[in-house]
Amino acid sequence: MTRDDADWWRQAVVYQVYPRSFADANADGIGDLRGIRSRVPYLRRLGVDAVWLSPFYPSALADGGYDVDDYRDVDPRLGTLDDFDDLVAELHASGIRIIVDIVPNHTSNRHAWFVEALASPRGSAARNRYIFRDGLGEGRTLPPADWTSAFGGPAWEPVGDGQWYLHYFATEQPDLNWDNREVRDDFLTTLRFWSDRGVDGFRIDVAHGLAKRLDDELPDQAALDALPRDGGHPLWDRDEVHEIYAAWRAVFDSYSPPRTAVAEAWVDTPRRPRYASREGLGQAFNFDLLEAPFDAGAFRRIVDANLALASESGSSTTWVLSNHDVVRHATRYGLPEPVDPREKHGAAWLLSGGVHPVLDADGGLRRARAATLFMLGLPGSAYLYQGEELGLHEVADIPPIERQDPAYFRNPGVDVGRDGCRVPIPWRSDGTSFGFGSDGSHLPQPAWFAELSVEAQQDAPDSTLALYRRALELRRDLQGSERLAWSPTEHDDVVRFRRDGGWEVVINFGAASVPLPAGEVLVASGPLPDGLLPAETAAWLRVTSAP
Ligand code: GLC
Ligand code: CA
């Protein structure tokens, strides 16, 4: 890697590490920074360009670390700032960049600011950093509005003196007031703090939620839901949020190469380019594939739409099939019900209701391998989530007592939450916690992890791990411009495109084999018997002829 390449991110493969569940170096059952460092050779061999670390900051883990006590430190259970510096040095020495997660919509309730706010009277400067309101009714014992939090349950919490604070997520995650100058300045300090430590970029949590406008009279939940999200919604995707990012951009650009950022912004698709623009964060997640069913028409429309959006913003597009908030894609594609794209977190709710799904595990994995190979052949950058390279399924049967996600606790009997994709990674096929650490794992691992461990797959040529390694290796060699050209196909279920430099990606979404286009097979998501492309299989081909 050339350290000063300002465009490194445009077509990068970024691997998301969920630190508590990756590797545990000190045998306490919780993954840590030294554990991640010990696995840098694995990441290098996998062939990723960058690692994104989900939060590793001090936290009570009310929301898996997205409840941050201190933005400029490391959770002592995960290590120290020195460990962080060592990790950065090790990654950089291996040619891998590092992205850290910034959580600006809310702090934790243990953050010094919130502790001060609770100890301060209403109307104080300390309370102004958050969103406090007087309760309604006699004694102000009723919430300022009937709003529901993203994790279920009320979004306003009383503090005992007639005032209530807004927490759009868990009770332990009070929302910050971004009209407050100190709040704005402090995040600039945080961005500099990590940039100075060599961090290459940032993933911005709930990027569309910072700017809020709450009038004296608050709408009720139904009215709030009915309001258009056109830049004037009280909570979401307000136009002024981009003023915040313009100030961040100035910080990013004060470094060489400029620091990058990617927005987690669940906004209407046409509104995404603004987050991704050069004046803004520079890149935004595109969750369209993650929310789509395994379907030729859907995939093709999504690719076209997002390449158009990317040229509108001047950014490259991003692709995601899995992350720490949704059901793993091998499982999604194996469930009987198609994904409802209108669900807020896409497939995450599919395992809801306490009903164990009827999972077609093999079919799900076959489709996941095909979809992944298709995705990795697309122009733009790809975000992978730890464990998907092993073909892991969601762990559906975590006992209630072991669950950690507030989305589970706040929705009794309705939502099983996100723990099932956060179970520690199996590195070995035996031993306590399958090589995750040497003394257990903070979430229970299922017995079937043994056959999917890194150890079990690393020398198996047909393994999912081998498929990812091969695709990433080829991708580095083949990488061309950010364009693609669709190739004609004779089957509606087949999607096929060509990249510069004479290579082609083809995927068969259908149930029957189709003829394989001419060309030398570079990699395939499954066996290709008799010169055919079987059902639910993708391949990359080197081609010489005109399309
Ligand atoms: C984002 C994170 C999710 C977290 C939420 C609140 O959606 O990805 O894990 O729970 O923000 O911070
Ligand atoms: Ca540990």
For ligand 1, atom 2, the nearest C-alpha belongs to 205
Ligand 1 centroid – CA 149 distance (Å): 12
Q: What gap in Å lies between CA 509 and CA 302, rounded to an integer?
A: 15
Please tell me the least confidently modeled range out of 28-32, 188-192, 328-332, 335-339: 335-339
CATH topology of domain 8-104+182-466: TIM Barrel (3.20.20)
pLDDT at 396: 84
DSSP codes joined into one string, 286-324: --HHHHS-S-HHHHHHHHHHHHHHHHHHTS--EEES--T
pLDDT at 66: 98
Ligand 1 centroid – CA 62 distance (Å): 11
Give 480's pLDDT tier (boundaries 50, 70, 90): confident
pLDDT at 177: 98
Nearest atom, ligand 1, residue 407 CA: 10
Residue of 205, 237, 394, 504 marked catalytic? 205
Q: Does the pLDDT at position 468 exceed 70?
A: yes
Give 273's pLDDT tier (boundaries 50, 70, 90): very high
For residue range 378-387, what is the model confidence (pLDDT) as tens digits?
A: 999 999 999 9
Strand order in the sheet with 50-53: 260-263, 201-204, 97-102, 50-53, 13-17, 381-385, 318-320
Give 146's pLDDT tier (boundaries 50, 70, 90): very high
Q: Does the pLDDT at position 350 exceed 50?
A: no
pLDDT at 2: 66
* CATH superfamily of the 484-542 domain: Golgi alpha-mannosidase II (2.60.40.1180)
Q: Does the pLDDT at position 355 exceed 70?
A: no
Q: What gap in Å lies between CA 91 and CA 97, rounded to an integer?
A: 6
Contacts of 253 (CB under 8 A, 6+ apart): none
Nearest bound ligand to the CA of residue 442: 2
pLDDT at 347: 41
Nearest bound ligand to the CA of residue 83: 2
Q: What gap in Å lies between CA 370 and CA 376, rounded to an integer?
A: 10
- CB–CB of 469/458 below 8 Å? no
- Between strands 132-134 and 156-158, the pairing is unpaired
Ligand 2 centroid – CA 138 distance (Å): 50
Enumerate residues with CB within 5 Å of ligand 2 (an ion).
24, 26, 28, 30, 32
Stretch 516-521: mean pLDDT, rounded? 96
pLDDT at 3: 65
Q: What gap in Å lies between CA 269 and CA 102, rounded to an integer?
A: 23
Residues with CB under 6 A from ligand 1: 63, 66, 103, 169, 205-206, 264, 324-325
Residue 264 among the catalytic residues:
yes
CATH code of the domain made up of 112-166: 3.90.400.10
pLDDT at 338: 61
- CB–CB of 321/368 below 8 Å? yes
Count Cβ neighbours within 10 Å for each residue of 346-359 and write b for 16 or more, e otherwise.
bbbbbbbeeeebeb
For ligand 1, atom 3, the nearest C-alpha belongs to 325
pLDDT at 10: 97
Nearest atom, ligand 1, residue 345 CA: 7
Give 372's pLDDT tier (boundaries 50, 70, 90): very high
Residue 134 among the catalytic residues:
no
DSSP, collapsed to helix, strand or coil, labels residue 383 as: strand
Nearest atom, ligand 1, residue 418 CA: 9
Percent of the chain beyond pLDDT 90? 87
Residues of the chain with CATH 2.60.40.1180: 484-542
Q: Does the pLDDT at position 263 exceed 70?
A: yes
**How many Cα atoms sit within 13 Å of 153 on the Cβ side?**
17
Q: What gap in Å lies between CA 380 and CA 77, rounded to an integer?
A: 36
* Structure-block tokens of residue 262: 């990617």
pLDDT at 342: 38
| Pocket perturbation via mutation, ligand 1, pick of 109, 149, 205 by most ligand atoms within 8 A of CB | 205
Residues of the chain with CATH 3.20.20.80: 8-104+182-466
Nearest atom, ligand 1, residue 324 CA: 9
Q: Which of 179, 63, 198, 94 is nearest to 131 (CA)?
A: 179
Residue 270 CB coordination number (10 Å)? 10
pLDDT at 547: 54
Extract the runs of DSSP E, i.e. beta strands, from 167-256.
Answer: 201-204
* Structure-block tokens of residue 457: 């797959």
Contacts of 86 (CB under 8 A, 6+ apart): 33, 34, 37
Ligand 1 centroid – CA 105 distance (Å): 10
- CB–CB of 388/382 below 8 Å? no
Count Cβ neighbours within 10 Å for each residue of 506-519 and write b for 16 or more, e otherwise.
bbbbbeebbebbeb
Query: CA distances (Å), 443 to each of 29, 64, 119, 180, in order?
Result: 9, 12, 35, 39
Ligand 1 centroid – CA 140 distance (Å): 30
Q: What gap in Å lies between CA 325 and CA 123, rounded to an integer?
A: 36
Q: What gap in Å lies between CA 238 and CA 229, rounded to an integer?
A: 8
Q: Does the pLDDT at position 341 exceed 60?
A: no
Q: Does the pLDDT at position 343 exceed 50?
A: no
pTM of the complete model beyond 0.85:
yes
For ligand 1, atom 4, the nearest C-alpha belongs to 66
Q: What gap in Å lies between CA 206 and CA 203, rounded to an integer?
A: 10
Residue of 63, 67, 157, 264 marked catalytic? 264
- CB–CB of 505/535 below 8 Å? no
Residue 257: asked if its preceding bond is cis (omega within 30°), the reply is yes
- CB–CB of 539/521 below 8 Å? yes
pLDDT at 344: 33
For residue range 283-335, what is the model confidence (pLDDT) as tens digits?
A: 999 999 998 999 999 999 999 999 999 999 999 999 999 999 988 999 889 88
Ligand 1 centroid – CA 512 distance (Å): 40
- Between strands 260-263 and 13-17, the pairing is unpaired
β partners of residue 542:
503, 520
Residue 295 CB coordination number (10 Å)? 14
DSSP codes joined into one string, 425-455: P--SSSSGGGGS-SS--SSPPPGGGGGGSHH
Nearest atom, ligand 1, residue 266 CA: 7
- The alpha carbon dihedral of 381, 386, 392, 394 has a sign of negative
DSSP 520: E
CA-based radius of gyration for the chain: 23
For ligand 1, atom 12, the nearest C-alpha belongs to 66
| Pocket perturbation via mutation, ligand 1, pick of 63, 107, 343 by most ligand atoms within 8 A of CB | 63
Please tell me the least confidently modeled range out of 1-5, 473-477, 522-526: 1-5
pLDDT at 357: 57
Nearest atom, ligand 1, residue 406 CA: 10
pLDDT at 410: 84
Nearest bound ligand to the CA of residue 25: 2
Q: Does the pLDDT at position 158 exceed 80?
A: yes
Residues of the chain with CATH 3.90.400.10: 112-166
* Structure-block tokens of residue 95: 């040619």
Nearest bound ligand to the CA of residue 151: 1
Nearest bound ligand to the CA of residue 68: 1
* Structure-block tokens of residue 10: 């445009």
| Pocket perturbation via mutation, ligand 1, pick of 149, 320, 325 by most ligand atoms within 8 A of CB | 325
Give 348's pLDDT tier (boundaries 50, 70, 90): very low
